C-alpha cells in the first residue's frame, strides 16, 4: 500500500537550508511505497513534514497542524527542536518517519 507523507513548506523568504533539496533527499531515502505529497485532498495526512527555512517556523500554525496527525518539524538547521547539520537532516527525518509509522 502506498504511504503518503504530507509536506508543507513555509513561504521561503529567508531559508537557511535548501528546502527543495531536503525534500528530494528524503524521497530518495524512503522505500518505494512511500511518497511525499503536497496534495491536501486526502487530509489529514498520517505524517506531515513541515519544512521551514529558518528557526521562526512561521508556517507552524494551528490550521496547518490540522493537516496531519503527526508532524516532524524542520526549522532551519533543526528537526523537532534538535540541532542537526543540513547534510544529516534527511537521514534523521526518515528515521523519525519509520518510528512514527510503528
Partner 1 sequence: MALKTAEQYEESLRKMKFKVYLMGELVKNPVDNPIIRPSMNSVKMTYALAQDPQHEDLMTAKSHLTGEKINRFCHLHQSTEDLVKKVKMQRLLGQKTASCFQRCVGMDAINAVDSVTFEMDKKLGTKYHERFIKFLKMMQEQDLTVDGAMTDPKGDRALSPSKQADPDLYTHVVEKRKDGIIVRGAKAHQTGAINSHWILVMPTVAMSKEDADYALSFVAPADAEGISYIYGRQSCDTRKLEGGEIDVGNRQFGGHEALMVFDNLFVPWENVLMCGEYEFSGALVERFAGYHRQSYGGCKVGVGDVLIGAAALAADYNGASKASHIKDKLIEMMHLNETLYSCGIACSAEGHKTASGNYLIDLLLANVCKQNVTRLPYEIARLAEDIAGGLMVTMASEKDLRHPEIGKVVEKYFKGIASVPTENRCRVLRLVENITLGTAAVGYRTESMHGAGSPQAQRIMISRQGNLEHKKKLAKEIAGIKD
In angstroms, how far is CA 69 from the centroid of its own chain?
Answer: 13
**Could you say which of 59, 74, 79, 97 contacts partner 1 (CB under 8 A)?**
59
**Could you say which of 8, 17, 26, 34 contacts partner 1 (CB under 8 A)?**
8
Answer yes or no: are the C-beta atoms of 40 and 66 closer than 8 Å. Answer: no
DSSP type of residue 77 = S
Based on the shown chain and the rule CB under 8 A, indicate whether residue 100 belongs to the binding site for partner 1: no
What SS3 class is residue 34? strand
**Could you say which of 1, 31, 33, 38 contacts partner 1 (CB under 8 A)?**
38
Q: Which residues contact partner 1 by CB under 8 A?
A: 7-14, 19-20, 38, 58-59, 61
Amino acid at each position: 500500500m502506498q504511504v503518503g507523507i504530507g509536506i508543507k513548506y513555509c513561504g521561503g523568504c529567508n531559508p537557511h537550508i535548501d528546502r527543495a533539496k531536503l525534500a528530494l533527499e528524503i524521497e530518495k531515502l524512503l522505500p518505494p511505497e512511500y511518497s511525499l505529497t503536497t496534495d491536501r485532498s486526502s487530509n489529514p495526512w498520517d505524517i506531515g513534514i513541515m519544512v521551514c527555512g529558518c528557526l521562526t517556523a512561521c508556517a507552524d500554525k494551528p490550521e496547518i497542524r490540522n493537516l496531519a496527525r503527526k508532524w516532524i518539524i524542520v526549522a532551519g538547521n533543526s528537526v523537532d527542536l534538535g540541532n542537526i547539520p543540513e547534510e544529516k537532516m534527511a537521514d534523521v527525518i526518515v528515521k523519525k518517519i519509520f518510528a512514527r509509522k510503528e
